[in-house]
Chain A
Amino acid sequence: MIDLDSSQFVVRYNVRVEKDMAPEEVAKNLFPSDEIIRSIAVAVFDGDEDAVIDGLTIAIQAGMKPLELINNGLMAGMDIVSTLYDDGMLYLPDVIISAQAMIEGIDHCKKLSKEVHKSKGKIVTFVVEGDIHDIGKKIVTVLLRAKGYDVMDLGADVPVEQVVAAVIKERPIMLSGTALMTTTLPAFNDVNSRLLKADIHVPVVCGGGAVTQDFASGYELGIYCEDAEDVPKIADSILTGFDVQHLRKVFHKH
């Protein structure tokens, strides 16, 4: 059997470009300075649900308002996680575990507050009818929630009527759908035309193995998304006023 040093024909670029600092070291400099709030943000970063609730309890006993703790403690901790994820220093399971801790914390604060917490915006996610491949949709849903969006996850194999009804009822800022099977793609066209008929011009972000940029560009509301990580960025762009054409210019990479 041949065995030899492969460095002439294999380069593990992930090793070559790896940053020297550990994510925990970077995060240390980003946590809020107030000691009580800092403990909440650190607990979110660590994904420690019990510590999140303990931190919130201490903060509320100290007179802080639950809704302020959502933004200043919970979301602040999550923002650090998202930033380090975007920088390639944290990985998806880190985001998921932190997001879960943040969501527990938000639910806890909501229970203790008479004021209503407003999310950044509502988004509907789904897998098209006839398709059950939903891991991509699950990842998108978590990443959006981690960024503070209120996500209605319709699940997999969702009929067009159900998608359209959810949009009419919830009025989301965008839709995010996935498809892995070529024959299920017409569902995107159906969603597009039914929404236009109802005079709803919400961007329909679509991705998954069967979807191409050319396909998504072929219908009026379509935005192609190659990577789940781009979906929260698209949502953020919509909040800043981007329309479909502008979104395509930025996020259509090919």
Chain B
Amino acid sequence: MSIKRYSKMAYNDPDDMFFGHCCFPVKVGLDLEIGAGYTTAEVKYAPRAEAGATKEKLIDEYERITRDIITRMVQVGFPSVVLETEHVHSMTINAEWGGEIAHAQKAIMENYHDEYGIKCALRHTPADIRREGECVDLRGDLYSLLMESFDEIASNGADMLSIESLGGKDVFDHAVLRNDIQGYLYSIGVLGTIDVEYLWNDISKIAKKHHVVAAGDTACSQANTAMFIAGGLLNHKISHTSAAVIRAMSAAKTLAVYEAGATGPGKDCAYENTIIKAITGVPISQVGKSSTCAHSDLMGNLTMQCCDLWSNESVEYHGDFGGTTVQCWGETLSYDCAMLNAAIESGNTKVLRDILMISDRYRDPQSYILAYDNSYRLGQTIVEYSDDIFLRAKKAASESCRMIEEASRGYLNLSKFEKLTLAKISKELVSLTDDRDIFMDECQDKYKAEVDTFRPENYGL
């Protein structure tokens, strides 16, 4: 498989990056164009517990969800919307379920589009089912089943294909509980990257076959896991500086998704997407202040800075005072987008972008490295070492350490523990080899011995 690596930045200057615009807009679904001068809400949802009992109940649930969202969009006068259906396990395992649900949702969206002209598109995200018990099984029978799921949804109405891939999770889970820098690098920079290349090569082919969009992936099982474990300011499970460095590494992995054929919009929970946008110029989806229904983070405004889609991450479908949850959160997202779009139309894009960015820039080391100017610097580091998937992740990690350390002498306040962790990571990164082959051999032996569930054959190793 020949992969063309990104060796230069899509943007010449970080100041050229902002919300609602990207270098390579994506035309998708029913008259929607993402990143072409306006932002759009991406509404995500989870079915109620009892809806999972049968296929019929699930279809009915998703029809209700779809109708609720689009009706509210029309009622309040929003010009566009994207719906993302993240599969529950049974929808991917039973590939035809996912296909039938995509078909049912799309039929409703087409009706509304025909009647009101609302621009819309449907993203489907199969569950990464490639796991047997405690072990990931990335290339066995479950892989074929996963591809079958993509084929079903793509042929039945899904406009965009995505996944939150599991590759590297085996070693990462071990590493994150031990603050093992070498393990972070191996699981994200090497194993995760190998997996997404394998996976997205095939997803891209399926998308091409059905004339739909191979949208994007995320380092959810690594960088988001670290972010969630790190938690808020008073949590003390892992250091926020560790989580920041892991996020920087994760961009090198997520980039491989686009090198393997994805075209965006990147997956919403990929907080590393601003780095991806800087390198690739593809449109991105982001979560932040309007995804508090799903989780808390430390950069709720900052993530809007360069978004093209603005997402709520997920919310369980049920009634609330203001309607159903998907109506309430869809409306909130769309009002956010209306504000962003008004800024674009009135020539205030950069002012609003900077206000969003500065409001969270120094809230945490994680938000600091994702401020658009710093994301751009991390992107430059990654493309400088583009041909070596390991080295580009390592250099991104080192650069993030340098940036945080430098900022801690200014407005970014770090605790003693965060400083200590940062110093430890920096030191360990320096001590690790730059030679990919040596690194991989060493890690393969080490993690085969330490991690029961790690099977190198999952990665063709």
Majority secondary structure, A binding face: loop
B414 touches A15 (CB 8 A): yes
The answer to whether A139 touches B177, judged by C-beta atoms less than 8 angstroms apart, is yes
Most A-side CB within 10 Å, residue of B48, B50, B233 = B233
**Among A3, A130, A132: residue with most chain B CB under 10 A:** A132
Q: Are B417 and A131 in contact (CB under 8 A)?
A: no
**Distance, CA A182 to CA B86, complexed state (A):** 12
On whether A183 and B234 interact (CB within 8 A), knowing A91-B417, A92-B229, A156-B134, the answer reads no
A172 at the interface (CB under 8 A from B): no
Given contacts A6-B363, A135-B173, contact A12 B49 (CB under 8 A): no
> Which B residues, 421 to 438, have Cβ-Cβ distances below 8 Å to chain A?
none
- B226, chain A: closest CB distance, angstroms: 10
Cα-based distance from A155 to B136 in the complex (angstroms): 12
Closest chain-A Cβ to B204's Cβ sits at a distance in Å of 25
Closest to A20 in B: B416
Q: A12–B225 contact, CB under 8 A? A: no
Instruction: Give Cα A138–Cα B452 distance, bound, in whole angstroms.
Output: 14
CA distance A4 to B357 in the complex (A): 11
Set B131, B234, B316, B364: member contacting A210, Cβ < 8 A: B316
The reply to whether B413 and A12 contact each other, CB–CB distance below 8 Å, is yes
Of B34-42, B207-215, B236-244, the stretch lying at the interface with chain A is: B236-244
Chain A nearest CB: distance from B424 CB in Å? 10
Question: What class of interface size applies to chain A in its complex with B?
Answer: 35 or more
Please tell me if A96 contacts chain B, counting CB pairs below 8 Å: yes
Q: Is B443 an interface residue (CB 8 A)?
A: no
Q: Are B234 and A135 in contact (CB under 8 A)?
A: no
Complex partner residue of A1 from B15, B133, B173, B233, CB under 8 angstroms: B15
- List the A residue with the shortest CB-CB distance to B180: A93
Query: Looking at the complex, which one of B178, B360, B373, B414 makes contact with A93 (CB distance below 8 Å)?
Result: B178
For B173, the chain A residues whose CB sits under 8 A away are 134-135, 138
Smallest Cβ-Cβ distance to A12: which chain B residue? B413
Given contacts A5-B411, A92-B238, contact A181 B88 (CB under 8 A): yes
Assess whether B403 is interfacial by the CB under 8 Å rule.
no
Is A14 interfacial (CB 8 A cutoff)?
A: yes
B209-229 vs A, CB cutoff 8 Å, 1 = contact: the mask equals 000000000000000010001
User: CB of B79 within 8 A of chain A?
Assistant: no
Complex Cα gap A156–B417 (Å): 33
Given contacts A2-B354, A91-B238, A186-B49, contact A96 B413 (CB under 8 A): no
* Per-residue interface assignment for chain B, residues 371 to 387, with 1 indicating a CB less than 8 Å from any chain A CB and 0 otherwise: 00100000000000000
Q: Closest approach, in angstroms, between the C-beta of A203 and any C-beta of chain B?
A: 21
Q: Of all chain A residues, which has the CB nearest B177? A: A96
Q: A183 contacts B52, CB within 8 Å?
A: yes
Taking CB atoms and an 8 Å cut-off, the chain B residues in 363-401 that contact chain A are 363-364, 373
Interface magnitude class on chain B: 35 or more
Contacts of A139 in B (CB 8 A): 177, 229, 237
Whole-angstrom distance between the alpha carbons of A92 and B47 in the complex? Answer: 33
In chain A, what residue has the closest Cβ to B173?
Answer: A135
Give the chain A neighbours of B316 by CB distance below 8 A. 182, 210
Q: Interface digits, A146-161 against B, CB 8 Å rule (1 contact, 0 not)?
A: 0000000001110000
Closest to B172 in A: A135
Measured CA separation A15–B413 after assembly (Å): 7
Write the nearest CB–CB distance from A175 to chain B, whole angstroms: 18
Cα-based distance from A198 to B239 in the complex (angstroms): 44
Contact (Cβ within 8 A) A96 B178: yes
Partner of A2, one of B50, B225, B239, B357: B357
Note all chain B residues with C-beta closer than 8 A to A13: 233-234
Residue in B closest to A138 when the chains form the complex, CB atoms: B173
Given the complex of chains A and B, what is the CA–CA distance between A2 and B361 in angstroms? 10
Contact string, A78-117, partner B, CB cutoff 8 A, digits 1/0?
0000000100101111001100000000000000000000
In the complex, which residues of chain B have a beta carbon less than 8 angstroms from the beta carbon of A93? 177-179, 238
Q: Contacts A91-B239, A93-B178, A183-B88; is A10 near B362 (CB within 8 Å)?
A: yes
Smallest CB–CB gap between A159 and chain B, Å? 11
Among B49, B225, B359, the one with the most A-chain Cβ atoms within 10 Å of its Cβ is: B49
Specify which chain B residues have a CB less than 8 angstroms from the CB of A138 in the assembled complex: 173, 177
- Check A182 against B48 for contact (C-beta < 8 Å): yes
Choose from A92, A157, A183 the contact partner of B177 (Cβ within 8 Å). A92
- Interface presence of B355 (CB below 8 A): yes
Contact of B359 among A9, A131, A182, A228 (CB under 8 A): A9
Contacts A135-B173, A181-B89 given; indicate if A14 touches B47 (C-beta within 8 A): no
Distance in angstroms from B139 CB to nearest chain A CB is 17
B238: chain A residues at CB < 8 Å are: 91-93
A43 at the interface (CB under 8 A from B): no
Contacts of B357 in A (CB 8 A): 1-2
B270 CB within 8 Å of chain A: no
A34 at the interface (CB under 8 A from B): no
B133 near A184 with CB under 8 A, answer no
Contacts of A85 in B (CB 8 A): 236
Is A185 in the interface zone, CB < 8 Å from B?
Answer: yes
Interface residues of B (CB under 8 A from A): 14-15, 46-53, 88-90, 131, 133-134, 166, 173, 176-179, 225, 229, 233-234, 236-239, 294-295, 316, 354-355, 357-364, 373, 411, 413-418
A1-B14, A93-B178, A183-B49 are known contacts; what are 19 more A-B pairs with Cβ within 8 Å?
A: A1-B357, A2-B357, A3-B361, A10-B363, A12-B413, A14-B415, A15-B414, A17-B234, A18-B415, A92-B177, A93-B238, A130-B88, A134-B134, A135-B173, A139-B237, A156-B133, A181-B46, A183-B89, A184-B89
List 6 contacting pairs A-B, 8 Å CB cutoff, sorted by A: A12-B364, A15-B413, A182-B52, A184-B52, A186-B53, A209-B295
| Chain A interface residues toward B at CB < 8 A | 1-7, 9-10, 12-15, 17-18, 85, 88, 90-93, 96-97, 130-132, 134-135, 138-139, 142, 155-157, 181-186, 209-210, 215, 228
Considering the complex of A and B, which 10 residue pairs feature the smallest CB-CB distances, nearest first?
A: A183-B52, A185-B49, A92-B237, A93-B179, A2-B354, A6-B362, A14-B233, A183-B88, A182-B46, A130-B89
